[in-house]
Amino acid sequence: MNDVVRTLDARGLRCPMPLLKLKQALHGMAAGEIIEVQTTDAGSVRDFQAFLRQAGHALLELQEGESTFLFRIQKAG
């Protein structure tokens, strides 16, 4: 698997900010690159999954902790 190219710390941000920050980050990445995102907003799980399905990006991993969520996402290309 490819290595993480970029990380995004969206902890403490409320909906819709984590999703907006993810979209901005993906815009600046090349196809196939991987971003790791941390959030604390439970709504980001649903929001990210819906967005990734629509945009065609791949959710490689989702880890749900007690108060944080970790996503590894591969940009479509």
- Which residues are catalytically annotated? 15
For 17-27, give one letter per residue: b (16+ CB within 10 A) or e.
ebbebbeebbe
Q: Is 18 helix (H, G, I), strand (E, B) or coil?
A: helix
